Amino acid sequence: MKKLADLLTASRALIAIFIVALSLEGKGALPLVILLIILGWTTDILDGRLAQRARSGASSDPSSSESTSWLGEHDFLLDMTMVFASLVYLTASGFIELQLALGYTLIAAIFILWSSGSKSVTELFAFPVVALPLIIAYQEAPWAAYAYIVWIILALISCWERFSGVVREFIAGMKQLRKI
């Protein structure tokens, strides 16, 4: 299970590469980019569940290692790689002005560095970038936006406990920053 979880995690790097490559296709590739984003977030959900099963099974199986793999430890980095790839696509395809994307990225990098790489600060700056393809698709390819919205609803229903945990972790991380 751990190897399958790692493959799903690694697949987000490939998805990110495909998303950036679709920049060459321009605005017409937006529906495919939305589908790749949905696929990427689906792999994130699945790899989390598989990794959790592998960890819970590891305690009863003396031959399995409970340690997290390198890919498992870098899951969040691969998530953010996919998020950044969507920003590259949206910018290179002309949906977003280059100066705006560069300015936002620079401001995000400064705050992330200031916070010593805080996951919560990274998530804070990633959220608008995650939402942007949906917002743009609503204008440019409504069926893709509706598919994304349906996927979001289904993901929230099936993963509400995990989503709630991520929100609690985000809030705790932001509270920690107040102490800096």
Distance CA 49, CA 42 (A): 11
| Residue spans per domain, the chain | 2-178
pTM of the entire structure? 0.88
**Neighbouring residues of 100: CB distance < 8 A, sequence distance ≥ 6:** none
Distance CA 154, CA 176 (A): 32
Distance CA 37, CA 46 (A): 14
pLDDT digits (tens, 9 = 90+) for 49-58: 887 777 776 5
pLDDT digits (tens, 9 = 90+) for 107-165: 999 999 999 999 999 999 999 999 999 999 999 999 999 999 999 999 999 999 989 99
